[in-house]
Chains A and B, each alone.
Chain A
Amino acid sequence: MSIFSLALRNLLHRPWVTALSLILAALGTGLISLILLLNWQLEQQFDRNLAGIDLVVGAKGSPLQLMMSSMYHISSPTGNVPLDGVKPFLNPEHPYIELGVPLALGDSYRGRRIVGTRPAFFDLYGAELGKGNMWTKPMDVVAGATAARELGLAIGDTFQSSHGLIEDDDLTHRDAPEFRITGILAPTGTVADLILITPAESLWAVHDTHDHAEESHAEGTHYNVTGPLSAYTDRSITSVLIRFRGNSVTALNMQRSINENTEMQAVTPTIQLAELFATVGQGEKVLRQLGYVVVAVSVLSIFIGLYNSLDQRRGELALLRSLGAGPPKLFGLLMLEGTLTAIAGALLGLMVSHLGIAVIARYFSETYRYDFRALVFLPQEWWLLLGAGVVGVIAAAIPAHRASRTDVHSTLSQ
C-alpha cells in the first residue's frame, strides 16, 4: 500500500467527484490537442503538396479555388484557358521558368481526379513508376499509389471517366473511349498518390467523342503524346503550375503582368495559403481560448473536490499522522490525488482527440481523398501533459497544505 495506490483508491472512492474533474480536464486538453493536431495535419498536407510551385496560372475566378483545384485537386477548376495563351510558360527554354506543368482537369473515375498533363508533372512531385510503363498514347493512365490501391486498379485495367469530381453514374462518359492503366507510381507522400495521371490529350479525346461522335479519329490516333503540348493549336487546358528559376521578384512581376494584361489569372500559392491559414486561425484562436477556459474550470473542479474531501477526511488524515506518516506525506498524498486526476484527464483528452482526428481523417479521405495520420504524436502534446501536471499541482496546493497541517491532537480528541 504505497502513497500512490492510496491516492488512487481515494480517488476511486469518490467516483462522481473524480469523474467530473476527469471529464473537465479531458475536455480542456482534448479541445486544445484537437486544434493542434488539425492545424498540424492541414499545414502538413498543404505544405507537402506545395512542391516548390511558385505560381499557378489558370482561368479568372476565385484564386483560392484555382489553387485548390490545380494543386490539391479538391474543388472544381475555375474554367479553361486557351493553350495558345499559356504556351510561353511551357517552353523549356524560358529564361525564368524552371518547370511549367500543364494540367487538363475536369474528369474523374470513382471520385479520383483524372489529371491530364505531361511527364513534367512527375518531376514536380518527385514521382517514379513503381510498376508498369509510362504512357505511350492517349487514354493510357499512370495511377497514383493510393488511388490504385483503393480503387483496386491493376495494370491493363480499363475504365470510363465521368464528368466532374463526384461519383455519379449519370455523368459517366459512356460513348467515350476507355482509359487503360499502363503503370502505377511508387508512393510519394504527395497529392500524386491520390490521382490518376494521363496525357492531356486523353481528356480532349473523351470530349472529342462528345462533340463529334462520328469522326473516325475518336481514339485520338492523331495525337502525339510524347511531343510538346505546344505543338497543338485551338486547344484549351485548365492551368499551368510553374516553378521559377531564381528569385521571387520575377515571380511577382510575372504574376502582376498576367493578372493585368491577360484574360487569365496567376496565383502565388504561398500567399494564398498564408491567407487561408490566417482565416482558419481566427476560428482556431477562439476554440483554443475556449479550451483554456475549460482547463481553468477543471482546476477549480479538482480544487473544490479535494477541498471538500478534507472535511470528511480529517479523521483519516489524523489517523495517518498517528500511524507515523509525517506532514510531507499528507501533503504528497493530496498533491498526488490532484495531479493524478489532471494527468489522467489529460491522457483521456488526448485519446479522445486522436480518436476525433481518426474520425475526421475518415471523413477527409472519403470526401477529399486526403489521408490524415491519426496516430501522430506531436511534441506539443507532451507539453499538454506537462501542463496538466502543473494544473494538478496548482489545484491541489491549498488543500494539500491544509492537509499537511492537520492537528492530530484536536482531531482525535473530538
Chain B
Amino acid sequence: MLKTHDLTYTYAGNGPSFRFPDLSVAPAEACLLLGPSGAGKSTWLHLLAGLLTPVAGSTVLAGTDYARLSGGALDRFRGRNIGLVLQRPYFLQALTVKENLLIARRSAGLAPDKAGALHVLEQLGIAHHADVRPGRLSVGEQQRVTIARALVNRPQLILADEPTSALDNRNAARVSDLLRQRAADLGAALVVVTHDQRLKDQFDAVVELRPSTHQENY
C-alpha cells in the first residue's frame, strides 16, 4: 500500500517548486500519472522512488514513511521495496543480463537467487538471453530486462518511468499489460509515470498533472 500526503519539492536556488496530488495505491493495484513534459513528472517519480527527499509531506509504503529515511537506511529501503523501471536502458554493461538481475539483489543486500532471476527472465520471455550482455539486445528486449530487474527483488512498489514512449502501439500495449500483470502477481502497487496518452484507457486510476510549476491538491 502506497500513500503520499502533501508531497512538496523545491529545487535549490530559485528553481521551480512542486506540490503533488496525494496518492493512494493498494497492493496489486495500478495507477497512471499522466502529464506533459515540464509538469514535474520526473521529480514526482524520484520522490516516490526515494531518490529525492521531499521538502515536506510523506511517502508511506507498507507502514514506513521513507520520506523520513536518509543515507544507508533509505538506500536499503529503496533497494528492497521499490522496483524501478527506468526510461533509459541503463545496465551494467560489463555484466550479462542474468548478472544484472543478480547485482540488483546484491545491491539491496538480498541473498543471491539464480533460480529466481532465471524465473523472472522466463516470465518475460527473455530467458534465452540470460548470458548475453544487455548492450547486444534490441530496444524491446532491453526494455524487458529493465522490467525483469525491477521485479527480481519482489518489491512492494513498482515505479515505471515512460515505459512505452519508445514503442509502437502494439508493443506499448503489451508492455503496459506485462507491467500490470506482473505487479498484480507480486501483489505490488504499480505507478506508471508517462506523457503517453495511449495508456490512459488501460488504467483505472489516472492522475493528470497540469503543465504548471505549482500543483494543487486534488
Residues of A bordering B, CB below 8 Å:
1-3, 6, 9-10, 12-13, 315-316, 318-326, 328-329, 408-409, 412-414
A6 to B103, CA, bound (A): 8
**B78, A1: Cβ atoms under 8 Å?**
no
A322 to B42, CA, bound (A): 14
**B46, A409: Cβ atoms under 8 Å?**
yes
**B92, A6: Cβ atoms under 8 Å?**
yes
**B103, A1: Cβ atoms under 8 Å?**
yes
| B203 close to chain A: CB less than 8 A | no
CB neighbours (8 Å) of B109 from chain A are 324
Task: For B93, give its contact among A316, A320, A321, A412 (CB under 8 Å).
Answer: A316
Residues of B bordering A, CB below 8 Å:
42-43, 46, 49, 51-52, 71-72, 75-76, 78-80, 84, 86-88, 90-95, 99, 102-104, 106-109, 112, 149, 161
Task: For B92, give its contact among A12, A319, A322 (CB under 8 Å).
Answer: A319
**B106, A2: Cβ atoms under 8 Å?**
yes
A12 to B149, CA, bound (A): 23
**A409, B51: Cβ atoms under 8 Å?**
yes
A409 to B90, CA, bound (A): 14
A68 to B49, CA, bound (A): 79
With A6-B92, A322-B49, A326-B76 known, 20 other A-B pairs at CB within 8 A are A1-B106, A316-B92, A319-B91, A320-B92, A320-B103, A321-B51, A322-B51, A322-B86, A323-B84, A323-B108, A323-B149, A324-B78, A324-B108, A324-B109, A326-B72, A328-B72, A409-B46, A412-B46, A412-B87, A413-B42
A293 to B202, CA, bound (A): 66
Instruction: Write the nearest CB–CB distance from A325 to chain B, whole angstroms.
Output: 4
Q: Chain A contact residues: over half helix, strand or loop, or mixed?
A: helix
Interface core residue of B46, B86, B107 (most chain A CB under 10 Å): B107
CB neighbours (8 Å) of B104 from chain A are 323
Task: For B79, give its contact among A1, A6, A323 (CB under 8 Å).
Answer: A323
CB neighbours (8 Å) of A408 from chain B are 46, 51
Instruction: Write the nearest CB–CB distance from A17 to chain B, whole angstroms.
Output: 13
Considering the complex of A and B, which 8 residue pairs feature the smallest CB-CB distances, nearest first?
A324-B79, A13-B94, A323-B107, A9-B94, A324-B108, A325-B107, A319-B90, A326-B75
Task: For A413, give its contact among B46, B76, B78, B93 (CB under 8 Å).
Answer: B46
* Closest partner residue, chain B, to A329 (CB atom): B107
Number of A-B contacts defined by CB within 8 Å? 84
A246 to B187, CA, bound (A): 94
A92 to B215, CA, bound (A): 112
* Closest partner residue, chain B, to A323 (CB atom): B107
CB neighbours (8 Å) of A319 from chain B are 86, 90-92
Instruction: Write the nearest CB–CB distance from A267 to chain B, whole angstroms.
Output: 64
**A322, B84: Cβ atoms under 8 Å?**
yes
* CB<8 Å pairs between A and B, sample of 22: A1-B95, A1-B106, A10-B94, A316-B90, A316-B92, A320-B92, A320-B107, A321-B51, A322-B84, A323-B84, A323-B104, A323-B107, A324-B80, A325-B75, A325-B107, A326-B76, A408-B46, A409-B42, A409-B51, A412-B42, A412-B87, A412-B90
**A324, B76: Cβ atoms under 8 Å?**
yes
CB neighbours (8 Å) of B112 from chain A are 1
Given A1-B103, A1-B106, A412-B46, A322–B95 Cβ distance below 8 Å?
no
* Closest partner residue, chain B, to A3 (CB atom): B106
CB neighbours (8 Å) of B99 from chain A are 1, 9
A408 to B49, CA, bound (A): 11
Given A6-B103, A316-B92, A412–B108 Cβ distance below 8 Å?
no
**B106, A322: Cβ atoms under 8 Å?**
no
CB neighbours (8 Å) of B107 from chain A are 320, 323-325, 329
A326 to B80, CA, bound (A): 13
A322 to B103, CA, bound (A): 12
Instruction: Write the nearest CB–CB distance from B116 to chain A, whole angstroms.
Output: 14
A326 to B93, CA, bound (A): 20
* Closest partner residue, chain A, to B52 (CB atom): A409
**A6, B95: Cβ atoms under 8 Å?**
yes
Task: For A13, give its contact among B52, B90, B93 (CB under 8 Å).
Answer: B93
A325 to B108, CA, bound (A): 7
CB neighbours (8 Å) of A2 from chain B are 106
CB neighbours (8 Å) of B75 from chain A are 321, 324-326
CB neighbours (8 Å) of A315 from chain B are 88, 90
CB neighbours (8 Å) of B94 from chain A are 6, 9-10, 12-13
